[in-house]
Structures are given as structure tokens and as C-alpha cells.
């Protein structure tokens, strides 16, 4: 159900006032009124003169947990076509996502170019491929993946994960995706270069993936919560013929525990091939060798490993399966600059040139 969005005027102030670099909707930036309303009625805003309107109320309430709207609509009131928060749904001619969006775009309405087949579909009641997760009735929503309150201290798990992602996506208790902002911490899964919210906080050029454990991927393990069979290490039988020589005989594409160029012979992935790409796809590195954006340069690290973010946008984009068609020759944006998905493979593999 769609509804009119009327007066979201004061949110910029909240962003500006935010003290917690890298996090929003947690601790000091968890502003209850952005999402909850006490009586399903609100005549004026929170300033003494009545100004300062908050998120509009949906038309078919009251809603569970005193929410202002049904969950996807509630979140999209700010996260679609607004200037003060990342637009996460399609790109429907409203306010362009000026700061870039590492996660890409969700789809909902099966309208070109954001068809249902281009990534995660809000409201979908389908079973997650490779797993058993299914949100029925109701369909896929934001809090199947994100914790609405962040993890603000009272939760035993400890620090808030990257992008407030759930610790237990798909009901599977995971370690969560850890991160650090401003200063690289090689023990965390993600390094966000920009410490400031707003700005370029969500730009692909400012998000890098460490590899704290050489045999694992925090990001891949998180996706595995729903896509159970698609992730594991080289010694897991769902991924590889475990007795075969190192880095060979994969049964599913590696998403951890496989180094680019790690299989010495036989036409496997190749570091020289990767070095020829000026705009590389994202991969994990324990040494922080992600390349310089726009520069083709020799690769010296032998620890670079693909994972889900190498090939897919987490929310989706305009390509089938949310795949990133990145040739490596140009700034590829969220959809990729190529004309087919093969160009993505050619960043690491020599087959096809
Ligand atoms: C970004 C939106 C958002 C903000 C901000 C927010 N909430 Fe919530 N809250 C939700 C959603 C969505 C649910 C429903 C969760 C569900 O359906 O399981 C919820 C549920 C709750 C619940 C039910 C128990 C639980 O944790 O699920 C309580 C209590 C609650 N919120 C209190 C608060 C308080 C107090 C604040 C401010 C300190 C706050 N919320 C801020 C979105 C928000
Ligand atoms: C299937 C899981 C999933 C669903 C559903 C989902 N998200 Fe996300 N979201 C993610 C992941 C994973 C990331 C981080 C991806 C990355 O950095 O590579 C993310 C990132 C984000 C970001 C940071 C912006 C960016 O481009 O990096 C925002 C904001 C966000 N999500 C909001 C939402 C909202 C609002 C909804 C519902 C309308 C939603 N998400 C639904 C998984 C999901
Ligand atoms: C909470 C469960 C959940 C999590 C976590 C999750 N997914 Fe999904 N995913 C689904 C469901 C359900 C579908 C099928 C419905 C749809 O396409 O939205 C799906 C579909 C997909 C598709 C196919 C999309 C298409 O249009 O054919 C891809 C690709 C995908 N997921 C990748 C990922 C990646 C990468 C991650 C981790 C960043 C992830 N998923 C995390 C539930 C999840
Ligand atoms: C009243 C407006 C508003 C609503 C409603 C809202 N958000 Fe946000 N959200 C924001 C703002 C503002 C930011 C910070 C923007 C920035 O960093 O530039 C943000 C940031 C985020 C981020 C990124 C946090 C990070 O640490 O990087 C996620 C994820 C997110 N929101 C998810 C949600 C979800 C899920 C809901 C619904 C339960 C929701 N939001 C509802 C305004 C809103
Ligand atoms: C090397 C690139 C690559 C990596 C890494 C990768 N994928 Fe994929 N994925 C693809 C391609 C390409 C497809 C489209 C189907 C095909 O050609 O195999 C796909 C399809 C999917 C689908 C849809 C399957 C279906 O039945 O329609 C899901 C879900 C998915 N991937 C999830 C993931 C998750 C989760 C990870 C990380 C654990 C991951 N992928 C890592 C390239 C990749
Ligand atoms: C970021 C680098 C990277 C990208 C991009 C990439 N791969 Fe791979 N791929 C690897 C690594 C590392 C391995 C592990 C074995 C090796 O080195 O070949 C691998 C293994 C494979 C294997 C199995 C080899 C075996 O011995 O079992 C196939 C097939 C494959 N990739 C196909 C693809 C396809 C198709 C694409 C594009 C959708 C793709 N790859 C994209 C790095 C990558």
C-alpha cells in the first residue's frame, strides 16, 4: 500500500546532531518518535511552537508495537526519495542517491528497470534460495535483516554491527558483521573510511572489506543465515571436494578461504588479471591491499578472497540477481559499466580474455 508522505522536515537536524560516527538508530541517535507514536494520533510537532513534524502516520493503523506505519512503509518514509537518509528503494526519479549506495537498491513493484529478478524484493514470500528462510505471511521486510534499534548496550552480543545488521539473520545466531570507522582495524570485517554520517558514508569508495580470519568471511556468514548452502570454507562439503588439492574442485563458487591466484596451475584465478583492473570489484584482504581506485597496478598480496559483495549488491540493482557488471576499466557505479555479467568474472579469471 502506498501513502502520501507529507512533512518530514526536521530530520536534517537529527543527522547534524549525531555524535556517534558510523551508526544511526542506536544509542544517542535512536529517536523513538521517528518510528513510534503513542496514541496513533499527532496534531503537531515536537517543538514548543508546534513545528518539527515527524514521520507521517500510515492510513490503516493503529499498528503493532505503536509503529507509525507498517514496517517497510515506515522505513521507506525516510529511506526513499529523501535527501537526509540513503534512498534504498529503486531510483524512481526522485532524489538521486547523491552519496552513492554500497548496498544498491531493493525492489518492490516489479517495474523496469527494478524488476523482481534484480535483487531482494520487499514483501516477497518466496523461500530464500539455498536455505529455508521464508517470511510468510507478510513478506520480506527491513527488519528481517536490520535491527530496528541497533544494538545499544543492553544486548549481550556487545557492539552494534555494521549497518545495524541483525546478529541472527534467518534465525541463525552468527558473529555479526563487525566494523570500524575512520581508522582501519584489521580485526574487524569492514573498514568505513568516512567517519561522518551524511556525506560519503555509504559510497562504495569508502567501504572496504578486511579478512580477520583467513578461512572465513563475516559478510558471507551473515548472508548464509538465509542462503544456507552458498557459503563455507574450503573444508566444507557444500563448497568443495574437500580431499582435492588446495583451491581446486569447488562445487559452489568460493565465498571464503580461497585466495586469488592461490591455485598455482590450471587456468585458475589470476593476480595479474586482477592487477590489470583499474576499478576493482570488492573483495576481502587481510593486508588492506584493495588497490587504488582508478589505477591499474601490480598486486603483491596473495591473501585476496572473493565473497558475496564481490559479485552482488546486498539490496540489489538493475541487473538480474543484483550482479555487478564491472569491467574494471571505468568507475562502475552500482550496476556496473559492462554489457554482460562475464566482465565481472574477467576481473579474476583469464578465460574469455
Ligand atoms: C527506526 C525506527 C525505530 C526507532 C527509532 C525506534 N523503534 Fe522501537 N520498534 C521499531 C520497530 C520496527 C519495532 C517492531 C519490531 C517487530 O515488529 O518485531 C519496534 C519495537 C519496539 C518495542 C517492542 C519490543 C522490541 O524491542 O521489539 C519497544 C518497547 C520499542 N520499540 C521501544 C522503542 C523506544 C523506547 C525507542 C526510542 C528509544 C524506539 N523504540 C525507537 C522501530 C523503531
Ligand atoms: C536481505 C537483507 C536486507 C534487507 C531486506 C534490507 N537490507 Fe538494508 N542492508 C543490508 C545489507 C547486507 C547492507 C550492507 C551492504 C554492504 O555494505 O555491502 C544494507 C545496507 C543498508 C543501508 C546503508 C546504505 C547503503 O547503501 O549501504 C541502509 C540505509 C539500509 N540498508 C536500509 C534498509 C531499509 C530501510 C530496508 C527496508 C526498506 C532494508 N535496508 C532492507 C541487508 C538488507
Ligand atoms: C533474512 C533472510 C535473508 C538474508 C539475510 C539474505 N537474503 Fe538473499 N534472499 C532472501 C529471500 C527470501 C530471497 C528470495 C526473494 C527475493 O528475491 O527477495 C532472496 C534472494 C536473493 C537473491 C536473488 C535475487 C533475485 O532477484 O533473483 C540474491 C542474489 C541474494 N538473495 C543475495 C543475498 C546476499 C548477497 C545476502 C547477504 C548480503 C543475502 N542475500 C542475505 C532472504 C535473505
Ligand atoms: C524519520 C526518518 C527515518 C526513519 C523512519 C528510518 N530511518 Fe533509517 N536512517 C535515517 C537517517 C537520518 C539515517 C542516517 C543517514 C546518514 O548517515 O546519512 C538513517 C540510517 C539508517 C541506516 C544506516 C545506519 C548505519 O549505521 O550506517 C540503516 C541500516 C537504517 N537507517 C535502517 C532503517 C530501518 C530498518 C528503518 C525502519 C525500521 C528506518 N531506518 C527508518 C532516517 C530514518
Ligand atoms: C563469483 C561471483 C559470485 C559470488 C562470490 C557470489 N555469487 Fe551469488 N550468484 C552469482 C551469479 C552469477 C548468480 C546467477 C546464477 C548463476 O549464474 O550461477 C548468482 C545467484 C545467486 C542467488 C540466486 C540463486 C537462485 O536460485 O536464483 C543467490 C541467493 C546468491 N547468488 C547468493 C549469494 C551469496 C549469499 C553469496 C555469498 C555467500 C554469493 N551469492 C556469492 C555470482 C556470485
Ligand atoms: C574477485 C575474484 C573473482 C571473481 C570476480 C570471480 N572469481 Fe571465480 N574464483 C575465484 C577464486 C579465488 C577461485 C578459487 C580457485 C581459483 O583460483 O580458480 C574461483 C573459482 C572459480 C571456479 C572453480 C574453479 C575450481 O577449480 O573449482 C569457477 C568455475 C569460477 N571461479 C567461475 C567464476 C565465474 C563464472 C565468475 C563470474 C560470475 C567468477 N568466477 C568471478 C575468484 C574470482
Average pLDDT along the chain, 353 residues, taken 10 residues at a time = 37 38 80 96 94 89 97 96 89 65 95 97 98 97 96 67 93 88 93 74 92 97 98 97 89 96 81 96 97 95 96 97 97 94 96 80
Ligand 6 nearest-atom number relative to CA 263: 17
Q: What separation in Å is there between the alpha carbon of 118 and the centre of ligand 3?
A: 10
Residue found under cell 562504495 = 204
Residue 12 to residue 70: CA distance in whole angstroms: 23
Residue 333 to residue 353: CA distance in whole angstroms: 23
pTM of the complete model: 0.96
Written as nine digits, the cell of 282 is 570488492
Ligand 5 site, residue 310, Cβ cutoff 6 A: yes
Residue 90 to residue 35: CA distance in whole angstroms: 22
Residue of the nearest CA to atom 32 in ligand 2?
A: 88
Q: What pLDDT does 158 receive?
A: 64
- The count of C-alpha atoms lying within 13 angstroms of the C-alpha of 174, restricted to the half-sphere facing its C-beta, is 25
Q: What pLDDT does 82 receive?
A: 86
Q: What separation in Å is there between the alpha carbon of 284 and the centre of ligand 1?
A: 34
Ligand 6 site, residue 322, Cβ cutoff 6 A: no
Can you give the C-alpha Rg of the chain in angstroms? 21
Ligand 1 site, residue 277, Cβ cutoff 6 A: no
Residue of the nearest CA to atom 20 in ligand 4?
A: 24
Q: What pLDDT does 103 receive?
A: 96
Q: What separation in Å is there between the alpha carbon of 282 and the centre of ligand 4?
A: 24
- The count of C-alpha atoms lying within 13 angstroms of the C-alpha of 141, restricted to the half-sphere facing its C-beta, is 16
**Cβ atoms of residues 70 and 83 within 8 Å:** no
Residue 35 to residue 24: CA distance in whole angstroms: 13
Written as nine digits, the cell of 11 is 530530520
Ligand 1 site, residue 301, Cβ cutoff 6 A: no
Ligand 1 site, residue 35, Cβ cutoff 6 A: yes
Q: What separation in Å is there between the alpha carbon of 227 and the centre of ligand 3?
A: 7
Q: Torsion angle of alpha carbons 194, 345, 170, 238, nearest 10°?
A: -140
Q: What separation in Å is there between the alpha carbon of 218 and the centre of ligand 2?
A: 16
Q: What separation in Å is there between the alpha carbon of 165 and the centre of ligand 3?
A: 14
Ligand 2 site, residue 135, Cβ cutoff 6 A: no
- Report the candidate in 192, 250, 189, 251 with the shortest Cα–Cα distance to residue 221: 189
Ligand 6 site, residue 255, Cβ cutoff 6 A: no
**Cβ atoms of residues 63 and 73 within 8 Å:** no
Amino acid at each position: 500500500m502506498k501513502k502520501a508522505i507529507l512533512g518530514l522536515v526536521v530530520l536534517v537536524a537529527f543527522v547534524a546532531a549525531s555524535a556517534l560516527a558510523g551508526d544511526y538508530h542506536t544509542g544517542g541517535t535512536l529517536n523513538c518518535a521517528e518510528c513510534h507514536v503513542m496514541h496513533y494520533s499527532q496534531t503537531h510537532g515536537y517543538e514548543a511552537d508546534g513545528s518539527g513534524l515527524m514521520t507521517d502516520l500510515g492510513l490503516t493503523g493503529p499498528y503493532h508495537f505503536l509503529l507509525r506505519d507498517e514496517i517497510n512503509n515506515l522505513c521507506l518514509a525516510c529511506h526513499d526519495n529523501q535527501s537526509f537518509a540513503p534512498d534504498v528503494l529503486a531510483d524512481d526519479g526522485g532524489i538521486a542517491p547523491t552519496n552513492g549506495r554500497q548496498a544498491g537498491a531493493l525492489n518492490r513493484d516489479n517495474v523496469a528497470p527494478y524488476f523482481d529478478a534484480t535483487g531482494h524484493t520487499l514483501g516477497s514470500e518466496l523461500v530464500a534460495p539455498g536455505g529455508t528462510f521464508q517470511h510468510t505471511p507478510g513478506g520480506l521486510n527491513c527488519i528481517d535483516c536490520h535491527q530496528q534499534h541497533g544494538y545499544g548496550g543492553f544486548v549481550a552480543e556487545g557492539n552494534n554491527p555494521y549497518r545495524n545488521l541483525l546478529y541472527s539473520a534467518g534465525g541463525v545466531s552468527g558473529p555479526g558483521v563487525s566494523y570500524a570507522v575512520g581508522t582501519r582495524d584489521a580485526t574487524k570485517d569492514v573498514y568505513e573510511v568516512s567517519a561522518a554520517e551524511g556525506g560519503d558514508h555509504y559510497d562504495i569508495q569508502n567501504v572496504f572489506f578486511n579478512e580477520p580470519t583467513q578461512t572465513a568471511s563475516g559478510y558471507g556468514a551473515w548472508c548464509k543465515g538465509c542462503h544456507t548452502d552458498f557459503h563455507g570454507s574450503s573444508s566444507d562439503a557444500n563448497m568443495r571436494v574437500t580431499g582435492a588439492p588446495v583451491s581446486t574442485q569447488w562445487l559452489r563458487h568460493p565465498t571464503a578461504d580461497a585466495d586469488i591466484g592461490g591455485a598455482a596451475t590450471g587456468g585458475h584465478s589470476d593476480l595479474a588479471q586482477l592487477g590489470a583492473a583499474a576499478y576493482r570489484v570488492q573483495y576481502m584482504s587481510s593486508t588492506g591491499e584493495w588497490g587504488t581506485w582508478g589505477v591499474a597496478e601490480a598486486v603483491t598480496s596473495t591473501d585476496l578472497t572473493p565473497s558475496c559483495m564481490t559479485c552482488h549488491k546486498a539490496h540489489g540493482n538493475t541487473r538480474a540477481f543484483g550482479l555487478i557488471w564491472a569491467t574494471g576499466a571505468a568507475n562502475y557505479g552500482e550496476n556496473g559499466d559492462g554489457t554482460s555479467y562475464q566482465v565481472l568474472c574477467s576481473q579474476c579469471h583469464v578465460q574469455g580474455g
